[in-house]
Amino acid sequence: MKTYHGKGVYGAIAFGTTAMYQRESFDVSSHVAKEIPAEFARLERANEIAFQQLRELQSKAKEETNASLAQIFEGHEMLLADQEFQTLIKQKISEESCNAEHAVSEAAKEIADMFSSLGDPMLSERSSDICDVAERLILCLASVSDGQGTHKDVASQTKVAEGATTGADPIVCGSMTSGANLILCAQDLTPSDTMKLDKDRILAFVTAQGSLTSHVAILAKGRRIPAVVGIGEEFLKDLKDGEPIIVDGFTGTVYINPDSATRLAMLRKQAESKDESERLQSLKDKESITLDGTKVEICANIGSAQEAADALECGADGIGLFRSEFLYLSGKDLPSEEEQFKSYRKVLELMGDKRVVIRTLDIGADKQLDSLQLAHEENPALGLRAIRLCLTQPSLFKTQLRALYRASVYGNLGILFPMITCTSEVTQIQSICEEVRSELEKEGIPYNEMTELGIMIETPAAALISDRLAPLVDFFSIGTNDLTQYTLALDRQNASLEPFCDTHHEAVMRLIKTAVENARANRIPVAICGELASDPSLTETFLRMGVHELSVSPASVLPLRAAIRNIRL
C-alpha cells in the first residue's frame, strides 16, 4: 500500500480503480496559411462553436451546482470574446501568415504569461482559464477544416473530438471508455474537464497540481465530487490504470492498493459520514440554541440570487452576506438599476421575513471590470477598491443604492458597506443614501424607510475606532478574512505564506473582541462573517464574547448548528 497526502476538496470517501487521464495533444505548430481570409473565416466559425459549448456548460453548471459557479463559464465566454485576445490572434495570422491553431496557442500563451507574472492568485486563475478557452478554440478549429483547407458548415459540427463533442459531454479516455467506479488521476484538470466528468462512472479525482481556491476545486465541491488536489508529482510515477484506490476527501489522503485494515477503516468512516449527514439534516428546522438557552442566528453567505434557495434548503436563519459584485462580474457591461433591482427583489421575496444583508460593490483593481477601465495597481488589496471606488464614482454607487432601496419593500433588507476605515466615509455614505431616498420620494417610488445600514469591520482601523463607528450605524459585520490579512500584513491567497497565516493570532482576536464590545455597548447587533465564523474551535469563544450571529457558507450551516446545540456558556 502507498499513501499520499494532498488537499481534500469535498468531504466524502470514494472507493474505486485508477483511470489515468492525459490531456489530448494538439498540433499547434506553425504552418503557412495559403489564404489569410480563409483562416479568419475558420476562426470565426470556431468561435461560434466554442460559444455554443460554453453556453451548454453554463446550463449544466446551473443545473448541478448553482448560478455563481456557472459564472465561471460566463467568464470563459468573456475571455473568448475579449477584443484583445481576438485581435492578437488575427494579428498573428496576418503578420506570420500562419494557421489559426498556432495563432490561438501563441496569443493565449502571451496573455496567460501576463496574468501569471502579476503575482496575484486571482489573476493567476485567469491564466488557467485562458488556457482552457484556447484549448477549446483549437479543438473547434479542428472541426471546421478537413485538413485540405475545405471549410465545413458550422451547423453540422456536432463532433469536435472524442470525449469533447460538445461543451457538456462527459470525458472519455484510456480505460475510462468502459467500466465504472473510476477514480480519475491526472496532472491537472481544467474547469471544462471538471464539468464534463461523468459522475455515474467517475466517483472522484486526484490531481498532482491544483489548489483549494482554483476553479477546478470550487466546481468539484459544487458538484459534490470527492477530490484531492495538489498531491504532488510523485503520485503519478508508476501509477497504472485499474489499480485499487481510496480517496479520503475529508483529509486529502489517497491510498493506492490499500490493505484490508485501511479498507475497513475507510468503510467505517464512510458509514459514519452518512450517519452524520442524516443527523445534520434532522436539525434543518431546529433553532440554534446553546444548552443554557442562548439563541444564535446562523445565516448564509451567498453570491447570487439562485444561491438563496441553497441557503433555505440548508436551514439558514437568513442571508448574512450577499456578495453583490457577482452581478457586475457576470456580464460585459455594468448591470443596470433594473437588473440589480430584480436580482435583489428575488432574494428578498424568496427569504420572506428572514433578514437579507446585501453588501455593496466590493471590487477593485484585483477584480477588473472592462466597463470601468480601472488602472492597474501594484498592490490592489490596498488600492482603489470597495467603498473607496464607490465614493469616487458616485453615479455607480447611486445606481446600486437605488436598486437596493427599491427592493427593500419586498423583504427584510440590511445594506452593508465594505472596507470602512474612518467615520468620514460613513457620513459620506449616509449623505448619498439620503440623496437616493429623496430622489425616490420625488419620483413616487416606494422604499422601506426602516432599511438598516451597516458596515464591515475588516480593517484594523475600523476595529480600533469601532467605538466611534458604532453610534453611526445600525449593525456591524466583522469580515475575518480581510481583517486577518490586513492585521498580519499577509496575503491570505499566497500559498507560500500559509505557514505564517495564524488565523487565531492574538492580535486578530483582540480586534474582533474590541469591535464586539463596542457594538454591544452601543446596542447594535454584530455578526462574524468569514472563514472564522465556521471554525468550530472558535464558536464558543465568539459566543462568550457576545456574538449572537454567525454567517457562513450554506454547507456549514447545519454542522455549526449542531456544534452550538452542544455548547454550555
Quick one: what percent of the chain has pLDDT higher than 90?
A: 61
Least confidently predicted of 48-57, 102-111, 325-334, 447-456: 325-334
Q: For the CA atoms of 507, 513, 518, 520, what is the dihedral angle to 10 degrees? A: 170
Name residue 221's amino acid.
K
Cα 425 from Cα 430, distance rounded (Å): 9
Residue type, 404: L
Does residue 493 register a pLDDT over 70?
A: no
**C-beta of residue 412 within 8 angstroms of C-beta of residue 353:** yes
Tell me the mean pLDDT in the region 333-347: 93
- The band of 169, judged by pLDDT with boundaries at 50, 70 and 90, is very low
**Would you state the pLDDT for residue 162?**
31
Per-residue confidence at 263, pLDDT binned at 50, 70, 90? very high
Q: What is the pLDDT of residue 260?
A: 96
The catalytically annotated residue of 98, 299, 433, 529 is 529
**308 has pLDDT over 70:** yes
What are the structural domains of the chain? 2-20+173-277 (3.50.30.10), 36-156 (1.10.274.10), 284-564 (3.20.20.60)
Q: Is the pLDDT of residue 205 over 90?
A: yes
3-state DSSP assignment of residue 563: helix
C-alpha cell at 330: 457576470
Q: How confident is the model at residue 159 (pLDDT cuts 50, 70, 90)?
A: very low
Quick one: pLDDT at residue 369? 62
pTM of the model: 0.69
Active site includes 433? no
Which residues, 6+ apart, have CB-to-CB distance to 560 below 8 Å?
288, 298, 533, 534, 536, 539, 550, 552
131 is catalytic: no
Confidence of residue 512 (pLDDT cuts 50, 70, 90): very high
Q: What is the pLDDT of residue 106?
A: 93
Give percent of the chain above pLDDT 70.
Answer: 88
What is the signed CA dihedral for 457, 125, 85, 372, rounded to 10 degrees? Answer: 0
Lowest mean pLDDT among 12-16, 46-50, 179-183, 392-396: 179-183
* Residue 136: predicted pLDDT: 92
For 242-259, what is each residue's pLDDT tens digit? 999 999 999 999 999 999
Confidence of residue 175 (pLDDT cuts 50, 70, 90): very low
CA torsion angle for 353, 355, 359, 360 (degrees, to 10)?
40
User: 215, 299, 314, 433: which is the annotated catalytic residue?
Assistant: 215
Local confidence band at 60 (pLDDT 50, 70, 90 cut-offs) = confident
**Segment 450-469, tens digit of pLDDT:** 999 999 999 999 999 999 99
Average pLDDT of the chain, as a whole number: 87
pLDDT interval class at 269 (50, 70, 90): very high
Helix axes 215-222, 36-64, angle to 10 degrees: 40
Put the strands of the sheet holding 227-229 in their side by side order.
Answer: 2-5, 253-256, 244-248, 13-21, 182-186, 202-207, 227-229, 7-8
| Cβ atoms of 567 and 543 closer than 8 Å | yes
124/58: higher pLDDT:
58
